[in-house]
């Protein structure tokens, strides 16, 4: 018979694989940003929120804070590295107020984690107390991470377009929330259950929005491309007229 710990470990390994997929799911977005040399209308908030969340969970998973949390530590260390790359790319290809906002949020992330680490390691000397403090903060900031896409969701409803809310990210968020909720319920862990259950609900909402606005998004993109082609044709016609008008007559 399979033990509870073995089941939990197996689900945790699957959760790590799915979470890695979640962290990598914005890759097409950043390839697009790289090619266009612009962040366009993409928001930095989901990425700085995820970075903060990963750094705090990495702190939670350290042996000196919460022993026997190797799976939590490894995936969040990987997530921290990946999200850090995203934020740096965003800073590089943004400008003006967007870059200033992204930089302030990034510095805020680092300041929060440094402050929490110092307080917990200096003033609390047992695993129970450290786990309690960091665990509560992880829940709070994990909820903030899942709330971050609400700004994007509001824009989706307003514009009736999911162009700037990648489907890959919504799907990965759904399976990540589902897997880690199961993981937390096998051997009940309140700190992991609360944020991942909420994350599961938010990701379902995002998927519903994709279903509702899929057609209108396609129509808007097609219309924009059509206008671009019409505009290009107009430029060609005008240039042709200018050329014929300015050409010397024999």
User: Rounded CA gap, 46 and 51, in Å?
Assistant: 9
User: By the 8 A CB rule, do 110 and 21 touch?
Assistant: no
Are the CB atoms for 145 and 49 separated by under 8 Å?
yes
Q: Tens-digit pLDDT profile for the chain (250 aa)?
A: 667 778 878 888 888 888 888 788 788 888 888 888 888 878 888 888 889 989 998 999 888 988 877 888 888 999 999 999 999 999 988 888 888 999 999 999 999 999 999 999 899 888 888 888 888 888 887 777 777 667 778 778 888 888 777 777 788 788 888 888 888 888 777 878 888 888 888 889 889 888 888 888 888 888 877 776 545 444 443 344 343 334 344 4
Give the H or E element holding residue 156.
helix 149-159
């Amino acid at each position: 018979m399979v033990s509870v710990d073995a089941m939990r470990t197996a689900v945790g390994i699957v959760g790590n694989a799915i979470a890695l997929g979640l962290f990598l799911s914005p890759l097409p977005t950043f390839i697009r940003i790289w090619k266009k040399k612009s962040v366009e209308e993409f928001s930095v908030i989901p990425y700085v929120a995820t970075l903060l969340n990963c750094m705090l969970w990495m702190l939670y998973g350290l042996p000196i804070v919460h022993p026997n949390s190797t799976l939590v530590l490894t995936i969040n260390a990987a997530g921290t590295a990946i999200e850090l790359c995203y934020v740096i790319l965003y800073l590089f290809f943004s400008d003006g107020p967007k870059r200033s906002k992204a930089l302030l949020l990034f510095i805020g992330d680092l300041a929060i984690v440094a402050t929490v680490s110092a307080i917990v390691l200096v003033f609390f000397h047992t695993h129970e107390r450290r786990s309690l403090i960091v665990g509560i903060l992880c829940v709070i900031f994990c909820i903030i991470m899942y709330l971050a896409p609400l700004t994007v969701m509001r824009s989706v409803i307003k514009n009736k377009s999911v162009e700037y809310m990648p489907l890959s990210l919504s799907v990965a968020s759904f399976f990540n929330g589902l897997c880690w909720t199961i993981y937390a319920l096998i051997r009940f862990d309140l700190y992991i259950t609360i944020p991942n259950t909420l994350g599961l609900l938010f990701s379902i909402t995002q998927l519903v929005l994709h279903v509702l606005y899929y057609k209108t998004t396609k129509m808007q993109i097609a219309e924009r491309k059509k206008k671009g082609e019409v505009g290009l044709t107009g430029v060609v016609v005008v240039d042709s007229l200018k050329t014929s008008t300015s050409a010397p007559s024999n």
